[in-house]
Amino acid sequence: MKILIHPDAGAATECAAGLIAARLARDRRTVLGLATGGTMEDLYRRLIRRHHAGECSFAEATSFNLDEYVGLSPTHPCSYWHYMRHHLFDHVDLPAGQAHLPRGNGPDPQAEADRYENAIAAAGDIGLQLLGLGPNGHIGFNEPGSSLSSLTRVKTLARATIEANSRYFDRPEDVPRRAITMGIGTILRAQEVVLLAVGPRKAEVAARMIEGPVTAFCPASVLQFHRNCTVVLDAEAASELALRSYYEDIHPSGS
Ligand code: GLP
């Protein structure tokens, strides 16, 4: 794992946006794996800014999002389809037919998960996978206890995840209990992984991900096995790392 530590959330997020833009510049046909969550809102703002400045184009790229809630239609305001249109797709040149998310409201969610897994494989798997970090160590919606070689499937959300995500819904009881998520095995097939985590809420789990044992109890810890994984943190999220000064020696100022 390459650990890049930046002084604040803005610098960390700009760094992660820069890694995505650099990948697109190297390979305009990149298959991007995209994430949702509060952390990514600022990252997408920064990518849109770069796009408007003529620094990056999504015209030949393809994207697959990590996950979608079961039961929500693509037009539901709390769906991840809606999130992606609002925060990225409506503002960049990614052609509509090249952006993919699982469909949450189909009649057979597991059949949709299988279809999605096959579509990712047919696209040649993910080139660059962007990840956030759940406060309980989840990546996508791979909750603690997930098989470390799982493929795209339906997962029941952990209570902590439902609570964390209830801020987006009118009432906590409106948060779907299940989601379709790329599996951990699907994510591990990506050529390159960039995980962004900022703020004090992520400090303990970032330490478990980077320095703890590889365990299904903290699904993100499996990224220790990935050959090309960059973790971008701000100082707060890095505050509980035992080897922090070592990482800073290797990459001063997150360079
Ligand atoms: C959701 C998403 C995850 C994301 C997590 C963290 O649960 N499914 O992919 O990493 O939120 O979100 P935040 O950035 O708001 O902390």
Q: What is the pLDDT of residue 255?
A: 85
pLDDT digits (tens, 9 = 90+) for 113-155: 999 999 999 999 999 999 999 999 999 999 999 999 999 999 9
Task: Assess whether the C-beta atom of 43 lies below 6 angstroms from ligand 1.
Answer: no
Pocket of ligand 1 contains residue 37 by CB under 6 Å: yes
Q: How confident is the model over 92-98, as a mean pLDDT?
A: 97
> Which residues are the active-site residues?
67, 136, 138, 143
Closest CA to 207 of 241, 161, 248, 175: 241
**Mean confidence (pLDDT) of the chain:** 97
Distance set, CA 169 to CA 45, 135, 141, 218, 235 (Å): 22, 19, 17, 26, 30
Q: pLDDT value at position 131?
A: 98
Residue type, 67: D
The CB of 180 under 6 Å from ligand 1? The reply is no
Query: Cα of 39 to ligand 1 centre, how many Å?
Result: 7
Ligand 1 pocket residue status of 81, Cβ below 6 Å: no
Instruction: Report how far ligand 1's centroid is from the alpha carbon of 160 (Å).
Output: 12
Q: What is the pLDDT of residues 31-79, one digit of tens each?
A: 999 999 999 999 999 999 999 999 999 999 999 999 999 999 999 999 9
The token pair that represents 162 in the structure block: 């439902």
**Cβ(35) – ligand 1 distance below 6 Å:** yes
- pLDDT on residue 29: 98
Q: What pLDDT, on the 0 to 100 scale, is given for residue 227?
A: 98
- Nearest in space to 135 (alpha carbons), one of 127, 122, 144: 144
Task: Give the whole-angstrom CA distance, residue 69 versus residue 180.
Answer: 6
Predicted confidence band of residue 253 (pLDDT cuts 50, 70, 90): confident
Quick one: how far is CA 3 from the chain centroid? 17
Amino acid 214: pLDDT: 98
- Given a contact cutoff of 8 angstroms between Cβ atoms, the answer to whether 165 and 176 are in contact is no
Please tell me the distance between residue 167's alpha carbon and the centre of ligand 1 in angstroms.
12
Nearest by Cα to 48 from 15, 9, 96, 87: 87
Q: Report residue 44 as tokens.
A: 């997408």
- What's the confidence (pLDDT) of residue 191? 98
Measured by CA distance, the residue closest to atom 9 of ligand 1 is: 140
How much is the pLDDT for 254? 84
Residue in the structure block whose two tokens are 């209830």: 166
pLDDT digits (tens, 9 = 90+) for 241-251: 999 999 999 99
Domains of the chain: 2-254 (3.40.50.1360)
